[in-house]
Amino acid sequence: MWPGVLGIHITTVRIGALMSRAEMADLLLNQCARLGIRISWNTHIVDFDEDVSAGKGVAVGADGRRYEADVVVAADGLGSRSLRLTIGENVRAVSTGYVIYRGSVSTKDLENATVLKEYLQQNPRPEIRLSTGHNIHIVLTMYQRGVAFAITLPDNQRGTAMESWSSTVPVEQLLQSIPDGDKLDPLVLDLLNHLPERGVIEWKLCMRNPQAKWTSQGGHVVQVGDSAHSFIPTSGSGATMALEDSLSLAECLRLGGKNDIPSGAKVHELLRMQRVTLLQRLGIVVRSLLHSEDLESIKRAPKNMTQGKWLWSHRADAYATANYQKAKEHLEGKSTFENTNLPPGHVPEQWTLEGEVEREKQGRTVDLRANGDWSIN
């Protein structure tokens, strides 16, 4: 807790292992190289297309080149150019009313950050710290190879999405935006004061409404990750859902086979849609609890952030294997189908981004955990 701000250091989570996004990307790149998968660098995709008669999906580069395949996976993020093929129009993401300031640095570059350096020497296990207060929360991630931070504050200039890792601000500007910023957790302050130049990235937290479709009409273009379902960090599972997408889609395409790619893509969509829609909403609900003016609401936040067994024990590939045929028959109108990758007893609910943001502004809360079994056992 820091003076002048209603806040409290909520919890320190015991982490078994921790990997940065950069390390994860490097791992995947090395796997592509090992398998002989060719990568075309510096290729900007500006559009997607589909030739149903030829059974091909198409990704169109800025230079006019057309990349054809039996199935094209659109993983181009929040402002995906594939929306025209899936929902019929290119919908712009809108601000959720907040902005995140984030950055990371290798411990090799923190030699002069004495507070952090000493703490890491005395505490070798990975650690995530969450501090929160009215209209602010801070996540500090520490492990032996690096330290990262994410500070979420109100965005006073709402607009359309800005997806750019080059949008940076000076540390001084960030600290001025935080009430009593000089009285933050000493570990956070030490990190901020030893960041490299342009080390604070400013990123508007934007989303789109849940989509009704992730696949093109012919099933040869399919969206995954933020292209299909945009998340904000307080969901705690955005990257996980993207990885689950990849496992599910790969297995569905394998089961459908080269001669039935459309079914593979559309079964994947059916198996994943309700699960990720619920978790998208969770991100907004958790943020409203973390940023509450009510100290009791903040104290309840750890319980509301607990990720139940239905979430963390799920194996998307095994789920696809077990449910592919039943889901396919449902799409063909031969049978009914209900997903079981949700909290047991959960009844799916409709929601809109506009409605959730308005509820958050008014300080009204909703208990998603009252719908189904969210226990960790």
Nearest to 271, CA basis, from 216, 233, 328, 354: 328
Query: What are the structure tokens assigned to 308, written together?
Result: 């139940």
Contact 316, 339 (CB under 8 A): no
Q: What is the chain's pLDDT, residue by residue, as a tens digit (377 residues)?
A: 444 443 444 444 455 567 788 888 999 999 999 999 999 999 999 999 999 999 999 999 999 999 999 999 999 999 899 999 999 998 888 888 899 999 999 999 999 999 999 999 999 988 999 888 888 999 999 999 999 999 999 987 544 445 555 588 899 989 888 888 888 899 999 999 999 888 899 998 999 999 999 999 999 999 999 999 999 998 889 999 999 999 999 999 999 999 999 999 999 999 999 999 999 999 998 888 888 766 676 666 666 667 789 998 999 999 999 999 999 999 999 999 999 999 999 999 999 999 998 988 887 888 898 999 998 87
How far, in Å, CA of 59 to CA of 145, rounded?
Answer: 37
Strands of 2-44, DSSP E: 7-14
pTM greater than 0.85 (yes/no): yes
How far, in Å, CA of 352 to CA of 96, rounded?
Answer: 12
26 DSSP 8-state letter: H
Question: Could you state, in order of their start, the residue ranges of all structural domains in the chain?
Answer: 7-24+94-207, 231-370
Contact 295, 105 (CB under 8 A): no
